[in-house]
Chain A
């Protein structure tokens, strides 16, 4: 019976591992990784050289914005590809719940993101060779990037669950994230109480404190809820397909 209790986890793990493998068997993960490292690396070099300060905040802020572009590129294939090649029939007819499928796919994509963030860990280490950067602030910043990235991946996964076309999934996912990005400005021009609510939804302000090295649980709660919310919507969406 003990072994039986682990099977749900084993299935999530199997799905996550397959996704991880699929990322690196196709050029997707490599290309996105190259673009990601090139852009953050250039930005890091430019910001350090121009200010001569061992400050990671600029590059963390830039990386946060970059994640909004990178995440949809990673997630478009997650469900659209299953629909396109008909493998959704395998997942739907296996004794696997939609929650397990969604979680497995999400974790597979998240593992790729964690790898990316680990690789950008060279930036604070580089600074440390020449100066004394605030490594605790950097750690908080990376935690913030991870949470923000997780939310972006969840939104992208939801977009992918909507359509068989990867292009459409990418555009929808990207649009969804941009909407959360500009929510702050939208909040500024709205009158009355909706302004505050819309401003609260804005994605990047919730990251700013992490960049400064501040761990505020309200931001953690916001980002984790956003992630959970999109994963829940994805699971609902997948389940609904059975009832067409």
Chain B
């Protein structure tokens, strides 16, 4: 269980993060989404104890950042955007070293290190020097380092940046597996990644939370037009005439013969549409609601001046 309570960070008079509050439990994978400079890395650094907040506090498994910083850090595994690797060490030597720093008891160390290496697919390269490994393997070593002490909270800053598609896929699978028994907080600017990996999303901009919710609910709760993709049997001209009879409905023919329909916000035009088509003798073959993608939500929220996302509650 992690609690972030009214955390703010100021660098001089520049705002890093303002008044951030959220909680997450075991099994939650929380994604921080935002343009560059939105405060994602600053947030992660305060979760891990690397930076102290200007105001507010963080509690992880009951340990408070101000009262028990060492106990808090014992609960955290952290992979920064640049993996903190000693290039001159062997993979096993490095992970064993980080296990010691994280306070893994001597008796368990060998076993924990072997388990972390196996989980990250590093057993085959355990004796190689980190400096000789590829970028993808180095990222995995960074992840092994972050999980070797079995932390309650795993913090990942842009974990898939700079990896090839295959490595990205493998890393996402691994993160999903790791997220089952702990809390994971990760930052990303890759929207599909966040919507597939995370069950909670925080959209940040300018150090403030614009929205916080499950990815699919974010799209639903955003005010805006309802859009559908529809297909009817019959002559396009007849269809166009029938659609034109429905007040308030905007229709647009697509190249593949389907129609893109848009109803104004809050209006339910589907019954009217049904009767209009039935009266014209044009059977409805398909009517699919089109959801806003996370990308649409993100763009709407972060481009609106002064936080246009007021309609989305920053709670969750």
Contact = CB atoms under 8 A, between A and B. Distances in A.
Contacts of B145: 90
B80 A89 contact: yes
Contacts of B71: 95
B21 to A, nearest CB: 22
B102 A95 contact: yes
A243 interface: yes
Which secondary structure characterizes the binding site on chain A? Answer: helix
Contact of A93 (B48, B82, B89): B48
B88 A26 contact: yes
A58 B102 CA distance: 48
Interface string B38-63: 00000000001111100000000000
Contacts of B85: 85, 87
Interface in B168-207: none
B73 A95 contact: yes
A86 interface: yes
A170 to B, nearest CB: 20
Nearest to B9: A244
Contacts of B102: 94-95
Contact of B50 (A26, A85, A242): A242
B106 A93 contact: no
A222 to B, nearest CB: 34
A97 B80 CA distance: 20
B76 interface: yes
Interface string B69-87: 0110110101010111111
Contacts of A96: 70, 101
A14 B88 contact: no
A89 B88 contact: no
A18 B50 contact: no
Interface string A70-108: 000000000000000111111111111100000000000
Contacts of A95: 70-71, 73-74, 101-103
Interface residues on A, range: 20 to 34
Contact of B86 (A10, A22, A94): A22
Given A91-B101, A93-B50, A94-B98, A86 B80 contact: yes
Interface residues on B, range: 20 to 34
Contacts of A3: 105-107
B123 interface: no
B103 A90 contact: no
A21 B48 CA distance: 28
B70 A92 contact: no
Contacts of B228: none
B91 to A, nearest CB: 15
Interface string A5-44: 0010011001100100110011000000000000000000
Contact of A14 (B50, B74, B101): B101
Contacts of B105: 3, 7
Interface string A208-244: 0000000000000000000000000000000000111
Interface of A: 3, 7, 10-11, 14-15, 18, 21-22, 25-26, 85-97, 242-244
Given A11-B103, A90-B145, A93-B48, 8 more contacts: A18-B89, A21-B88, A25-B88, A26-B88, A88-B84, A93-B50, A95-B103, A242-B52
8 contacts: A7-B105, A18-B86, A86-B83, A86-B84, A92-B50, A93-B78, A94-B102, A242-B52
